[in-house]
Amino acid sequence: MTPRGHAIAFRIWQYCQPLGWDCTMPEVSAALEVPMGTVRAVIKLKNWGGRLRVTKTHFRGAGGNEYALSADAVLDGSSNRRVVADLTGVSL
C-alpha cells in the first residue's frame, strides 16, 4: 500500500473507531470526502470489510441483484403472482 493509502486507512480508522465501526462505506466516503472506490479499495486491502455495517446494495455480488430482489418483494404476497403465473405458465 502506498503512503497515501496508509494515510487514508488511518483516516478511515480514525472516523470509524469512535463509532464502533457502526457506519457504512458511503457514510465513510462522504464524511472523509474521499471517493467511494478509494474507500472500498483501502478497506479491502486492510481486511476491514467485516467491520462496517453493510447496505443492501453491497449484496449484489453475493447472490442476487437489486432488480430481482425488488421483483421478489413486489410479487411476494400480492395479486401480481397470478399475472406472472398467467404470463409464464408457471404457478408461483
When divided into structural domains, the chain yields a total of 2
Residue 57, amino acid: T
Note if the pTM is more than 0.75. Answer: no
- Could you give the CA distance from residue 46 to residue 1 in angstroms, rounded to a whole number? 9
pLDDT tens digits for range 30-84? 999 999 999 999 999 998 888 888 776 554 444 544 545 455 555 555 555 566 6
Q: Do both 50 and 67 map to the same domain?
A: no
The cell numbers describing 6, all together, are 496508509
What is the span of the domain harbouring residue 30?
1-54
Q: Which of 42, 40, 48 is nearest to 7 (CA)?
A: 42
- The answer to whether 43 and 29 have CB atoms below 8 angstroms apart is no
Q: Do both 13 and 50 map to the same domain?
A: yes
Q: Do both 89 and 49 map to the same domain?
A: no
